[in-house]
Amino acid sequence: MYALGMGESSVQFRVEAPISVLRAMSMPVDICAWQHRDEHGLILPWYTKPMLDVLVTWPLEEWSVFEYGAGWSTLWYASRCRSVVSVDNNAAWVDSLRKAAPANVAVHHHDDQPSYIRAIDAYGKFDLIIVDGAWRECCAPKVMEHIKPGGYVILDNAEQDGWLRPMMETFKYNEHHSYPMPNHPHWRTDYWKVTVFDRWDDVNQEAANRAEEKRRGQW
């Protein structure tokens, strides 16, 4: 539906995107010390550098991507992947991003939690799902429903284990990798390769047990 063509226009987007995107979004060229650009000048997703070093090795070309939280990452994934769908709760940011995004991108705006979480239901399965926006602690069930077997889930700011515990628990039976930022102990980006789908009842029961323990003051 949003397939990126392999003709001249596709190549042109990849080369000229840094200038055209910045103009269309009326954003400054400068980026902060924790951000990075790729070989074409596109701003990479705002993950830890060790996670970025892994990300650029993945075979993204034929992947479909869903993002909870749109941004510069949306444009970078668009230049590398077959299709990108993003949802964000900031209307002004979504409007600017739509003006700059190429044809293989769909960006949705929802500023209430239920609609935001359910935006993914308009689509099928994805090769990669990123959780890096609002209401991260509530995204896990929908992510599990829409990730392909063997697909990848990225969670940024994963060091915030308290409120993000539902995400951690949902994928606990899957292959997990964690990438803290050197010299920045309070920032970590994690990913899971999701192959285990038959432990969902166990996850729900464990969550129920924790809730009961908390109610009784045991947790």
Please tell me the predicted confidence (pLDDT) of residue 113. 95
Report, as an integer, the average pLDDT of 129-147: 93
Residue 102 token pair? 């190429």
Give the integer Cα–Cα distance in Å for 51 and 137.
Answer: 21
Strand partners, 85: 66, 106
Q: Which two tokens stand for residue 208?
A: 């129920």
Spatial strand order in the sheet of 83-88: 105-109, 83-88, 64-68, 126-131, 147-156, 184-194, 175-181
pLDDT over threshold 60, residue 23: no
CB 89 within 8 A of CB 71: no
User: Rounded mean pLDDT of 25-35?
Assistant: 55
Residue 17: pLDDT over 50: no
In order of 135, 189, 197, 199, the CA distances from 79 in angstroms are 27, 22, 30, 35
Domain ranges of the chain: 8-215
User: Residue 211: pLDDT band by 50, 70, 90 thresholds?
Assistant: low
Could you identify the residue written with the tokens 């830890």?
A: 48
Give me the residues paired with residue 153 across strands. Answer: 129, 192
**CA proximity to 168, closest of 144, 145, 185:** 144
Q: What is the gyration radius of the CA atoms in the chain, in angstroms?
A: 18
Question: Per-residue pLDDT tens for 161-187?
Answer: 677 788 888 898 999 999 999 888 789
- Residue 14 pLDDT exceeds 50: no
Read off the pLDDT of each residue in 96-111 and give the average, rounded to a whole number. Answer: 94
Residue 5 has what pLDDT?
28
Write down the pLDDT at residue 198: 82
41-57 pLDDT, tens digit per residue, is 888 898 999 999 999 99
Q: How far apart are CA 208 and CA 41, in angstroms?
A: 47
- pLDDT band for position 25 (cuts 50, 70, 90): very low
Q: How far is CA 23 from CA 39, 99, 181, 182, in A?
A: 19, 10, 31, 33
For residue 183, what pLDDT is reported? 82
Q: Out of 3.30.360.10, 2.60.120.560, 3.40.50.300, 3.40.50.150, which CATH number does the structure's domain 8-215 have?
A: 3.40.50.150
Specify the pTM.
Answer: 0.81
Confidence of residue 22 (pLDDT cuts 50, 70, 90): very low
Which of residues 34 and 106 earns the better pLDDT score? 106
User: What backbone phi and psi angles, to 5 degrees, belong to 89?
Assistant: -100, 5
pLDDT of residue 79: 94
Confidence tier at 93 by pLDDT (50, 70, 90): confident
Cα 57-61-65 angle, rounded to 5 deg: 95
